[in-house]
Amino acid sequence: MEQFKLPKIDMPPFSLPRAVMETLAEAETKLASRPKLLRLFKNCYANTLETTTKIADDGTTFVITGDIPAMWLRDSAEQVAHYLPLAREDADVRRIVGGLIKRHVACIVHDPYANAFNETANDWHWNKDDVTDMSTLVWERKFELDSACFSMRLAYNFWKVTGSAELFEAGFKEVMKTLVSLWKSEQRHAERSPYRFERDNGIEGDSLLNDGLGMPVNYTGMVWSGFRPSDDACEFHFNVPSNMFVVATLRQMGEIAEFVYRDSAFVKEMAKLESEIDRGIRTYGIYRHPVYGPIYAYETDGFGNYSLMDDAGTPGLMSIPYLGYASADDPTYVRTRKFALSADNPFYYEGRFAKGIGSPHTPPKYIWPMALSMQGLTATSKQERLDMVAMLEATDADTGYMHEGFHADDPNLFTRKWFAWSNSLFAQLVAKMMKDGEFE
């Protein structure tokens, strides 16, 4: 990323909501015996609000990813996820998160294929020469299947926490219909999709082959994706964890359609699509591994080719219970998790300071703090969660924050010193453990 000269945007500071301040004060007591963890938590818990969040004049919220002045749908939703439990009691948290959901709705209406957006139609782009149907509001137009799922998940969870359906009144149903139509089109990408993407920058994973169409896939019932959550191009274009996320999202959208809109026909339409995708996962997305038995593949093309790996980004195979697709004790997930946390996963690394999952997006032997946080969030034992927190404490390079990736043998070698999503996911893990009394 250093090769690009990034523009700057002004993120004016504002006072932290009362409930956020109370959580930070609570940490002073619950983490008193662990001063470094206390410092990390206080820094990371407030980081999104202190450095990346802007309330617009129209009442919407714009959240940049950190060191890039654009809003990723995926990142921004996860950057505020750890504040959601406070939304019922704190009007300021409701305003901030609700404003972000409204901003997401407007962005998806504008371009459901885009992954990242500008604050205004200022014509800033990650690469101005991308060959795709770009607009002045879009920062980047890599179609990543998971992006809009995060928007829907955030809205659903906001509804469940606050009990308020106010966000579903202004165009939200049309956004759901737009996504259902798009997912249906992308089940048969080559025949029905208008989406193309090419980038001539010499980086193979930044562009789609076959004149921007991507390599051929077989019909499976799953939904095609151009790019992974890491923003790297898919090797095989049915990304299994992203399709799992669509299944979980359709269940949530179906609940909204049933209890908010009372639209039985739309509920039925979404249930049918959910069934088609889920059948595709179970039929084409499971690989019979000679060591682990049946496990979920990371990607497939439906022709019998598989990518057997896991990536640190969410959604990934590690995050299946977090997404809501299957439980942590699901036998196929348990086997898949063992694979992901082994040397058979080409992006699992072990070193002097840490062991965990990295990504082809970063250099070899770089472990992602997000992967360690997700391992903790999906762990079934208190000890594993404590082990993940201890590893995260030991690998922050004494910066007081999480990073994108760090070298397993030397945490002082790291990428992205300001990566708010990583800070938020770590804060989510520690906050959950504090609530459950696991540091006592």
Q: What is the 3-class SS of 341-406, one letter each residue?
A: CCCCCCCEEECCCCEEECCCCCCCCEECHHHHHHHHHCCCCHHHHHHHHHHHHHCCCCCCCCCCEE
From the candidate CATH numbers 3.40.30.10, 1.50.10.10, 3.30.590.10, 2.60.120.260, the one assigned to the domain spanning 68-339: 1.50.10.10
**What distance in Å separates the CA atoms of residue 129 and residue 147, rounded to the nearest whole number?**
22
Neighbours of 412 (CB within 10 A): 11
Report the pLDDT averaged over residues 220-226. Answer: 98
Strand residue runs (E) in 141-285: 238-239
**What distance in Å separates the CA atoms of residue 94 and residue 246, rounded to the nearest whole number?**
25
**What distance in Å separates the CA atoms of residue 260 and residue 159, rounded to the nearest whole number?**
10
Looking at residue 204, its pLDDT comes to 85
Work out the pLDDT band at 427, boundaries 50, 70, 90.
Answer: very high
- With 70 as the cut, is the pLDDT of residue 346 above it? yes
Both structure tokens of 181? 């139509």
- Closest listed residue to residue 244, CA positions, set 228, 223, 226, 258: 223
- With 80 as the cut, is the pLDDT of residue 175 above it? yes
Give the helix/strand (H/E) hosting 103. helix 91-110
- With 50 as the cut, is the pLDDT of residue 1 above it? no
- With 70 as the cut, is the pLDDT of residue 3 above it? no
Report the pLDDT averaged over residues 160-184. Answer: 95
Cα dist from 165 to 43, 93, 95, 352, 385, whole Å = 32, 16, 14, 50, 34
Looking at residue 12, its pLDDT comes to 66
When the pLDDT of each residue in the chain is averaged and rounded to a whole number, the result is 96
Angle (CA) 146-155-427 rounded to 5° is 75
Place of tokens 């149903």: 173
Sheet strand arrangement including 405-407: 366-367, 405-407, 410-415
**What distance in Å separates the CA atoms of residue 373 and residue 349, rounded to the nearest whole number?**
16
Report the pLDDT averaged over residues 290-315. Answer: 98
**DSSP character at residue 205:** G
Give me the DSSP letters along 6-71.
Answer: ---------PPPHHHHHHHHHHHHHTTT-HHHHHHHHHHHHHHHHHTEEE-TTS-EEE--BSSSSE
Q: Contacts by 388-392 with C-beta closer than 8 Å and gap 24+?
A: 388/429, 389/37, 389/429, 389/430, 389/433, 391/353, 391/354, 391/355, 391/356, 392/40, 392/426
Q: Where are the domains of the chain?
A: 18-51+347-440, 68-339
Both structure tokens of 219? 């019909």
Contact between 405 and 360 (Cβ < 8 Å): no
Q: How far is CA 59 from the centre of its chain?
A: 24
Work out the pLDDT band at 5, boundaries 50, 70, 90.
Answer: low
Tell if the pTM clears 0.85, that is, is over it: yes
Looking at residue 4, its pLDDT comes to 45
Contact between 371 and 425 (Cβ < 8 Å): no
Looking at residue 348, its pLDDT comes to 98
Report the pLDDT averaged over residues 402-428. Answer: 96
- With 50 as the cut, is the pLDDT of residue 21 above it? yes
Looking at residue 112, its pLDDT comes to 98
Top pLDDT among 384 and 11 is at: 384
Place of tokens 């800070």: 423
**Percent with pLDDT over 70 in the chain:** 97
